[in-house]
Copies of this chain bind each other. A is one copy, B any other.
Amino acid sequence: MKVLVTGFEPFGGEKINPTERIAKDLDGIKIGDAQVFGRVLPVVFGKAKEVLEKTLEEIKPDIAIHVGLAPGRSAISIERIAVNAIDARIPDNEGKKIEDEPIVPGAPTAYFSTLPIKKIMKKLHERGIPAYISNSAGLYLCNYVMYLSLHHSATKGYPKMSGFIHVPYIPEQIIDKIGKGQVPPSMCYEMELEAVKVAIEVALEELL
């Protein structure tokens, strides 16, 4: 069994992105018999697609769990659906601001995640990790990668399971915001890392 976990480089003026650390920390570990591959995607439309598809073809994972940072959210949010649309509120990391364009022209309007989202949520709760099902991954790079991964599954037959998990800020990212009168929620990094591991465990159980 092969599991791909992707994170993203920092974006939107942030110095770090906890999902980059998650992908790197999980790269090379084993969960049960499954080998985990961690990769970091660029926050650039087009390039993220290239890197994602090359990675999928190179690794041919059974399971793909894509992870992204959701500023302002206060818990792990497991995405239910990816939508065939880009409508960016901020430019990507190469200054491109795409609005109201399909990700894959002519492809389905949306794909449901093929991860066992409710089982993952349940297991996270059992471990004391706040998590909920989100009905929108936004229309920026996170939804873009989720849609492309699910489109790959639908058109190329793998990964058998694919989906997306958003994580909140980690505490160190809040410090520079407090002076501006903002105190967004955060979650300790260790808990975020643990949450992705739990998601992998549950997905593996589902697939075996």
Contact = CB atoms under 8 A, between A and B. Distances in A.
Contacts of A75: 174, 178, 183, 186
Contacts of A136: 135-136
Interface in A87-131: 87, 89-90, 100, 108-112, 118, 125, 128-131
Interface size range of chain A in the complex: 35 or more
Q: Which among A109, A131, A172 has the highest number of chain B CB atoms within 10 Å?
A: A109
Interface in A130-167: 130-133, 135-136, 138-139
A201 to B, nearest CB: 18
Q: How many copies does the complex hold?
A: 4
B185 A74 contact: yes
Contact of A132 (B74, B178, B190): B178
A63 B108 CA distance: 24
Interface in A75-92: 75, 80-81, 83, 85, 87, 89-90
A1 interface: no
B178 A87 contact: no
